[in-house]
Amino acid sequence: SFLINLGDKEYLVGASPEMYVRTKGKRVETCPISGTITRGETPIEDAQNIKELLNSVKEESELTMCTDVDRNDKSRICEPGSVKVLGRRQIEMYSRLIHTVDHVEGTLREGFDALDAFLAHTWAVTVTGAPKAWAMQFLEDNEKTARTWYGGAVGHLGFDGNINTGLTLRTIRIIDGVAQVRAGATLLFDSDPDAEEAETALKASAFIDALRRPRGAAGANGAAAGGGKAAAVHTEGAGKRVLLIDHQDSFVHTLANYVRQTGAEVVTIRSNPLKVGLDEGEIDRLGGKRGFDMALLSPGPGNPTDFQVPATMRACEKRKIPVFGVCLGLQGIVETYGGTLDILPVPVHGKPSPVDIVGGTKGGIFEGCPTNITCGRYHSLYALRGKMPKDLKVTAQTEDECIMAVQHVSKPVAAVQFHPESILTSPGMGVKMLANALKNLKSSMYK
């Protein structure tokens, strides 16, 4: 980052992402940048965008061209065989975008110093294109205004003979009180003109917003920098108590955390395996006179019969406690009402799937949700569609019609096969489903 007073009411304010030339002794380094994608709203979206960026042949070709030209620049002044690529398509993340970067080094030949290294790279291929002479002539002939400081370099030359410079990118030039922001993109034959134009707008956006933003106002940042959409505030659980029935799973604490985000109190009871099931007396002891507003059947290993889920369901209905099940919870609910489970040909663990909401969302656990969401899955058992009980209706399914959610036609009972608490589930949707369950599954629905 830099702030430079050039005199005559001219200033440069910048935060360059790209090292231009750095030397220390005989070692010379550069880090050409080419390849750009926007930041996501969340770290998960960041990861998806990084994958898209790394899988782009066009973005890879950009950086390859830049690095090959950069290696050529070094070969003018470096020892034979010393020019090496130290890092290839490394990811660098900034407030609004993600770049791919190469790291190139060489060893200066006898008779060359830091200034020679600097001059050998003028100007960086990442801002000129190649072949350099023809590319720069094209810019001269076609760009309508002079670049002035844009695409140059800023840094320092030390008394020890070393140099450290960065390109003047992401820079505001202020002259006579007028601010100028320039940005560009690498054009290849297979470039999409609209995408390249959008990329330049993205690169300039942070500084343009800084110029337009009222003093003291917060700026927008990417997911990792604390930006993204603000989490919705839920109050559906305020004053309510939820009985979390733990089927010895490793996700129950996150589920409890999500329930608490609705304002509800969570009381956890562990269901013992080996067909012992749940201690009904423990439900009454923990519930006291107040009782519970909902029971949450957790995921778990094995089969629903290992935890006597049908007995748990009968205990909840006897006490008029609405039930929401997750994963094994859904499987147990299906078996309770006479449905049949089967085993997937290939288990699905830690994988996302697009899920379609079917039959409408009003009054159910998907109220206010999009009709298609991404959900994280961890299961090998599933409910057979052809053996579904008439008392349960399917409310969500995958593209291949694997049942992902059910709701009882008259009782306050609903469940999802996927994991609403997974990082793979669309942001905010998990808490929203639990909030909807607390809102829409009412004890009065038991007849």
DSSP 385: G
Residues 6+ apart with CB under 8 A from 352: 374, 375, 376, 377, 424, 425
- The residue to which tokens 């601010």 are assigned: 179
Quote the CA–CA distance of 359 and 366 in Å, as a whole number.
10
Per the residue annotation, which of 59, 199, 335, 421 is the catalytic one?
421
Residues 6+ apart with CB under 8 A from 192: none
Task: Give kind and range of the element (H or E) at residue 299.
Answer: none
Radius of gyration for the alpha carbons in the chain, expressed in angstroms and rounded: 30
The yes-or-no answer on residue 156 being catalytic is no
Closest CA to 183 of 171, 202, 200: 200
Cα-based distances in Å from 77 to 156, 179, 261, 271: 20, 38, 62, 72
Quote the CA–CA distance of 267 and 206 in Å, as a whole number.
46
* Contact call for residues 213 and 219 (beta carbons, < 8 A): yes
Per the residue annotation, which of 234, 247, 408, 419 is the catalytic one?
419
* Contact call for residues 325 and 332 (beta carbons, < 8 A): yes
Q: What are the two backbone dihedrals, phi and then psi, of residue 161, each rounded to the nearest 5 degrees? A: 90, 0
Per the residue annotation, which of 66, 78, 316, 327 is the catalytic one?
327
Sign of CA dihedral 19, 20, 24, 26: positive
The yes-or-no answer on residue 31 being catalytic is no
Residues known to be catalytic: 327, 419, 421
